[in-house]
Structure 1
Amino acid sequence: MNIAKRKILQAASELFLEGGIAALSVRSIAKHAGVSTIGIYSHFQGKEGILDELYIQGFELVMQAMDFEQHDLSPKEVMRRGIRGYFAMAEAHEGHYRLIFGENDSRYTPSEEAKAVAEKAFGQLLKVTALLLPDDANMALKHKNALEIWAFVHGYVSLKHHAVASIFETPDWYVMAEDALCMHIDAILATHTHLNSE
């Protein structure tokens, strides 16, 4: 990706973080990035193209967070490492994160290409969370566990990003989240160990 495109996407991400989709206009993005409005159209065909690229990048960052060497790691440690990567991604790329997880609105609908990348990211999470389950677990159970874990980590990230977080004296949201999620993982592992022993 060339420097101009990177500058445009960085500017759009920063503006989105400041004011959501309402803050994104071709003119405001161009001004923030230090490029011409013509440059925006030549690189992205306008605001929709920029939003799609941010959306795709966001889910690619989610996939990268869960993409690491898993050999010699227990299923629980694989999940813990994935969770830490997810939290690091959410912290380092907050604008992207807010766009892909719920702070978009009716003014933006992801393209089919963008939706396909989101589905691919969920597929990667599904593969990682399936490690907690028996080999013969059905797809419905794998989906259920993946969604539970994703909802869990997303809930903590959203609370940390929310203004209400400043009310609570929480030393580290992500340490607290990892501890709580580990209890959930232990419960999943214990349930299936118990079922297999019956």
Structure 2
Amino acid sequence: MRPAEQGNRERFLDAALAVLFDRGVTGLTVRGVAEEAGASTISVYARFGGREGLLDALYERTFESLRQVLEDLPPASPDGVADLLHLALEYRLFARESPVRYALMFERPVPRFDPDPALRSTVLRTTFTLFIARVQRVCPPEADAREAAYQLWTAMHGLVGAELMLASRTPLPDWFIPPTEEANEGMYRRGVSAMMTGLGLRNP
């Protein structure tokens, strides 16, 4: 792809992400993205083939954002367990930054949108390879690091998913977790730490 074409594609994807952040899934239309980019709907169709292609490209971009978060983590320290907990906390912040983006990645907020299987395989493998590498450092020799990473991720995903669901609704006055950042982060931190302990993840 020529630099100018790549630049135009990125401009549309930036616009699509802005629409997703500001207007949610309902605003994520070809027309909405074109208006945000200051372009015509025809130009969006020309580059992505329609809403389905645009959604596939945006799905890929969201995973690139998560991969960037993982790549930007501080270099590995002697305390691999602390490093892994830091990764988990950054993952939570990524989800909280845009629940709609997070939902596009891991749920089905757009009716009938099913990302291309080859694309899904690529982005998941590329992103979670970085996660598995962090788990590998603290994984017992007899354990499967990929399996441990998957189990830890499902715990992280479940904890942050429940937090996002509760945050999207009117707070319950008698709920045992106060609706504060401190309380929610503490619950998440304790849950992830317990899962890591249960999986036997420890420093060599």
Bigger proportion of residues as helix? 1
Do these two structures clear the TM 0.5 threshold for a shared fold by scoring above it?
yes
How far off is 1:19 after superposition? 4.6
Assess if the C-alpha contact under 8 Å between 2:15 and 2:37 holds in 1: yes
How far off is 1:160 after superposition? 2.7
> How many residue pairs align between the two structures?
188
**Among 170, 175, 182, the residue aligned to 2:179:** 170
SS state at 2:42 partner: helix
Q: Which amino acid aligns with 2:114?
A: T
- For the residues of structure 2 that align with 1:53 and 1:94, how far apart are their CA atoms? 18
Give percent identity, aligned residues only: 22
**Among 118, 121, 125, the residue aligned to 1:119:** 125
Structure 2 residue runs without a partner (length 5+): 1-5
TM-score, length-scaled by structure 1: 0.77
- For the residues of structure 2 that align with 1:128 and 1:99, how far apart are their CA atoms? 25
Assess if the C-alpha contact under 8 Å between 2:62 and 2:105 holds in 1: yes
**Among 16, 34, 38, the residue aligned to 1:34:** 38
How far off is 1:47 after superposition? 1.4
Q: How does 1:1-198 map to 2 (within 5 A)?
A: 2=7, 5-16=9-20, 18-20=23-25, 23-67=27-71, 68-104=73-109, 107-111=112-116, 112-137=118-143, 139=144, 142-162=145-165, 163-164=168-169, 166-167=171-172, 168=175, 169-172=178-181, 173-189=184-200
- For the residues of structure 2 that align with 1:147 and 1:165, how far apart are their CA atoms? 32
